[in-house]
Chain A
Amino acid sequence: MKLVIINYGAGNIKSIQFAFKRLGVDAVLSNNPEEILAADKIIFPGVGEASTAMAMLKETGLDTLIPKLTQPVLGICLGMQLLCEYTEEGNTKGLGVFKTQVKRFDNDVKVPHMGWNVIKDLKSELFKGIKENEYMYLVHSYYAEHCAETIATTDYSINYASALQHNNFYGVQFHPEKSSFAGEKILENFLKL
């Protein structure tokens, strides 16, 4: 199993690497196209601001490489949002894998949405063994709108897509690497896809 975490300078990727290590898998951090293409499984992480992150992807040409990947890809947090068509954050065009838009939470709730909330309406192998209304840790100010590719939802101000799937592409808004044992189970499921 060759697992690559795409390293394009966005955010806390050590935590993801450590989480896989707890599962017994050594993940490689890389921004090298050949290494990414040769991987069995790919993690597309992201913490930070969308337009800055997208600029970093463009610098390395990863913006054209990522949508063409054929292995299982898991976008986490901003990684998931960048896989969508468009995000209001920094008025940024996304990679267009998931046919949905990313919007900012209204100010009727505290922003960022920070802490533990439940995921429900689960429908994917990614959530095998995960019960409905399981708690996950989230930190985000923008959310993906529902679409045909929604595989989990969460309520905060509105009901939004907290996970998406399009063919080999998976995206989760929450941080499985920080979501206790249930989160680790999801990462383990991803490795088995």
Chain B
Amino acid sequence: MLTKRIIPCLDIKNGRTVKGVNFVDLRDAGDPVELAKQYANVGADELVFLDISATLEARATTLDMVIRVAEQVNIPFTVGGGISSIEHVDALLKCGADKVSINSSAVKRPDLVNELANKFGSQCVVVAIDAKQIDGNWKVHLAGGSIPTDMDLFEWAKEVEQRGAGEILFTSMDHDGTKNGFANEALAKLSESLNIPIIASGGAGNVLHFVDTFKEGKADAALAASVFHFGEIPIPDLKKELKEHHIEIRL
């Protein structure tokens, strides 16, 4: 059976991992390649690199990082952050990225989703959506969740699916950083109304949160950062426990 995926997310700035990382056996915890290799070795199913560099010069270093990751890591990885052109995507894929993730740029110009899907195939187009509830309605937010829009999460997700997105990475701003669990109700609604995989993001605090997001949230994959980086939830332990909860997982 197709397994649920566990995806560590690494924030990258100027080619280096930014959030503090507390990982054993790392020579250089700031080196995304070292960290990525470590994650691949302990059973991560995929990786996401989110480039939060502010300048174009800094982004150029990301291409270099992508090459080094592709050279040394034997699992798939996605690169996101500040991607808004076909040329940029072409460069990232040529460096060895498997998928790219677009967010605000898709909201600003939805045709970008079609163009990327047509040129490179849906399989490498992940649309990331940040949303939070306003008066009981899930509204899409831009620029890392700082700018609210009028767009409804579920309508936007449906639209990007129709435009050719291969996957949706949904981050609940209401849950992100809380460590109180994922937005399972919204995730289940997304998963049931769409026919492409949904990655749950935001709120991971313990192992049961992952169990819940796969069972109740019907997520196809779950993404987290700090619980993995600080060793709070070792991936081998997580996967073993998921298996004990009868969730299909790669061991």
Contact = CB atoms under 8 A, between A and B. Distances in A.
B1 interface: yes
The dominant DSSP class at the A interface is mixed
Interface string A97-118: 0000000000100111111111
B123 A180 contact: no
Interface in A1-46: 11-12, 14-15, 18-19, 21-22
A47 B121 contact: yes
A115 B220 contact: yes
Given A48-B120, A178-B76, A112 B196 contact: yes
B96 interface: yes
The dominant DSSP class at the B interface is loop
Contact of B197 (A11, A110, A116): A110
Contacts of A184: 74
A160 interface: no
Contact of A48 (B4, B76, B121): B121
Interface residues of A, number: 36
19 contacts: A15-B70, A15-B98, A18-B71, A22-B74, A47-B120, A48-B121, A110-B220, A111-B195, A112-B166, A113-B2, A115-B5, A115-B221, A118-B1, A139-B76, A141-B123, A178-B74, A179-B75, A180-B75, A183-B74
Interface of B: 1-5, 40, 45, 67, 70-72, 74-76, 93-98, 120-124, 166-167, 195-197, 220-221, 250
